[in-house]
Amino acid sequence: MLSIVMPVLTGCAGETKPDVYHQSLLEDLPFVHKMTVQQGNILTKEEVDQLQPGMNKRQVRYLLGTPLLTDFFNSDRWDYVYTIRRGHAPEEQRKLTVFFQDDVLVRTEGNVRPEPGTVTAAEPKEIVVSVPDYQEHKGWIGRGLEAVGIGRKK
């Protein structure tokens, strides 16, 4: 009896299921639209260049955002990962790992590295905005009410 039941039970376990997420053959054609997909923390060169050893955790979190990965057992390591896939182009991946010692930034690793010398002091630029004088535009209801003496006049 056991020799009959065992092959039946193990036969079901060896069955391969079809891949639900298998790409369509039409998906690689150039006229098929593929959306841009971004995931993780956006890491710009300007933000990463502002990182400096000696910054505390709050300053780093303010600058780069909440890390995507934090180790429960090692709170002195934060991992920032950003991936973007633009249409049919290959996926780009940016990784940055920051290490702290006594809540102070000591070093960084990854394929996005800070270059502190490239940070330029932001010069305050004077912006002049000219605002035209206010001109009231009344609709036909407002003009009608004013004509019969109900609307407000200037």
Give domain limits for the chain: 34-110
Q: Kindly report, residue by residue over 89-140, the tens digit of the pLDDT.
A: 888 898 999 999 999 999 999 888 777 665 555 566 788 888 888 878 788 8
What pTM does this model have?
A: 0.56
Strand partners, 105: 100
Residues 6+ apart with CB under 8 A from 34: 27, 85, 87, 88
The C-alpha atoms of residue 63 and residue 42 are separated, in whole angstroms, by: 11
Query: Cα-atom radius of gyration of the chain, to the nearest Å?
Result: 31
- The domain made up of 34-110 has a fold known as Beta-lactamase Inhibitory Protein; Chain:B, domain 1 (3.30.1450)
